[in-house]
Amino acid sequence: MTPFVFFYSAAAIFAGFASIVIGFYVLFRSRAKLNTVYFFLTAAIGLNALAQGLFRAAPNPALAEFWHETANFAWLLAFTLYLHFALVFSHKKWRILPFLYLSSLLMFILYVMTPSFCAGHELKYYGYAYISGLWDWWYMGYYTIFILTGMGLVYQVYKRDKRLYVKKQASYILLATIIPYVIGTVLDQVLTKINFPTLPLAAHITSLTIWLIGYTLVRYAPVSWVSKEQIAEVAAQALGDPLILTDLAEVINYVNQPVSKLTGYRSGELLGKKINFIFSGELEGFATIRKKDRGLAAVSFQKIPISGGRGFVYMIRDLSPVMKAKAEIEKMNLELKNSLERENQLIKYLHLIVEADQAEKLQAVWAEIGREAAELLPSLKPAQEMIAQYLVTVDEARRSRDELTKKTAEAEWFNKFMVGRDAALKELQTEIGKYKTT
């Protein structure tokens, strides 16, 4: 055995074991019908890869024939299981499904019993290879019908189903089917039949791409491991509120419409992401949501385990309206407090203005208001002007009073003067009369 044959065969054996492991993993996640059929599909593909590896590295023709027949049995079973998988995925039921398995068994018997498909075995640079028989083209046509029919069913689901995660599933299944079908048919069938130098890789590639289907079953299919009854049980407790379903690793598998409304992310942008992609600062049932527009939203949440230990349900309540209302109330309280303080200042300064009985005092009060509460000047201006006008009027009245008092004093003096003059004139006339008599 050459080193190349060893590594080539070992790679096929390893890929086969890995295929079976991923099948067990998906089945462990859920015993749903789709996952169960997928497990048997990976088992058949894994068995084929194991048998292919042992066939290439067989130490003698007898063992090579045994492992080649085992590989072909697994191949024919895998084609039927793939069609069965596509039927379950598309929710279709074919009553002839048992006959499809029977036809694969009959095809295997014909393959083993007659040399029309395999005319023998020969050694090549990559190990043992089979010699194509006259009917081997029918074998290729047989499995092509199974593969294309299954792909057609999956494609119908991709085109018609509106659920995003189902479309994701369908696209990955189609990709994981086309790659090994085309490469395997070309390298293992067509080039071999025309005796063109080639390296068969169908077993290797199929065992690897089957992982892709397992990946999409786990990541994009919450209904494959959570029943509708379980979803309804917890969703009823949070009707209308954001709801997120995750697996045990906190990977998001489902979000409802309120989550998209709260975060700004479409559901497809959140599926497959860790919960901490949008959650931060979790503390005793409260957290902060990071929105797509880089904004933040305060939320309260409940983390409820799904029965059977299969994941968690996050029931979320947006606290943004509450926080907004609280902020509005605080703003109103602050405005009310400032308004009351302003009213108190107005009353204080208005009292000082009214108490001012002189223009100088009024000017001093006005200057004090300008220094301590300039924003109140426009409100107090009318009162200041009225008091200033009043003081002017009072000052004018005071001056008029003083002038009147002065005039009154002068008039009294003049009256006294006039009374004295009359007495003096009478006395003078008396003296004159006495003089004339004498």
**Fold for the domain defined by 3-223:** Rhopdopsin 7-helix transmembrane proteins (1.20.1070)
pLDDT band at 41 (very low <50, low <70, confident <90, very high): very high
CA 274 distance to own-chain centroid: 10
Q: Is pLDDT of 59 > 80?
A: yes
Give the integer Cα–Cα distance in Å for 266 and 111: 52
Neighbouring CB atoms inside 10 A of 101's CB total 15
What confidence score (pLDDT) does residue 231 get?
A: 61
Sign of the Cα torsion 326, 328, 332, 338 reads: positive
**pLDDT above 70 coverage of the chain, percent:** 84
What confidence score (pLDDT) does residue 239 get?
A: 63
Average pLDDT over residues 28-40: 86
Q: Return the structure tokens found at 420.
A: 């004295």
Backbone angles phi, psi at 276, to 5 degrees: -75, 0
Pick the range with the lowest mean pLDDT from 118-122, 291-295, 348-352: 348-352
What confidence score (pLDDT) does residue 224 get?
A: 43
**Fold for the domain defined by 228-318:** Beta-Lactamase (3.30.450)
**pLDDT above 90 coverage of the chain, percent:** 9
Give the integer Cα–Cα distance in Å for 38 and 34: 6
404 versus 231: the higher-pLDDT residue is: 404
What confidence score (pLDDT) does residue 236 get?
A: 46
- What is the pTM for the complete model shown? 0.56
Residue 53 makes CB contacts below 8 A (sequence gap 6+) with: 9, 10, 11, 12, 13, 16, 203
pLDDT band at 387 (very low <50, low <70, confident <90, very high): low
437 versus 295: the higher-pLDDT residue is: 295
Rounded to the nearest 10 degrees, the angle between the axes of helix 377-437 and helix 320-355 is 10
Q: Tell me the H-state helices in 114-240.
A: 136-160, 164-184, 191-193, 202-219, 228-235
pLDDT tens by residue, 196-211? 778 888 888 888 788 8
Domain ranges of the chain: 3-223, 228-318, 324-425
Is 179:209 a contact under the CB 8 Å cutoff? yes
Give buried/exposed letters for 389-405 (b at 16+ CB in 10 A, else e): eebeeeeeeeeeeeeee
pLDDT tens by residue, 216-237? 887 775 544 555 555 655 554 4
Mean pLDDT, all residues of the chain: 80
391 versus 166: the higher-pLDDT residue is: 166
Give the integer Cα–Cα distance in Å for 233 and 117: 56
374 versus 48: the higher-pLDDT residue is: 48
279 versus 120: the higher-pLDDT residue is: 279
pLDDT band at 116 (very low <50, low <70, confident <90, very high): low
What confidence score (pLDDT) does residue 95 get?
A: 82
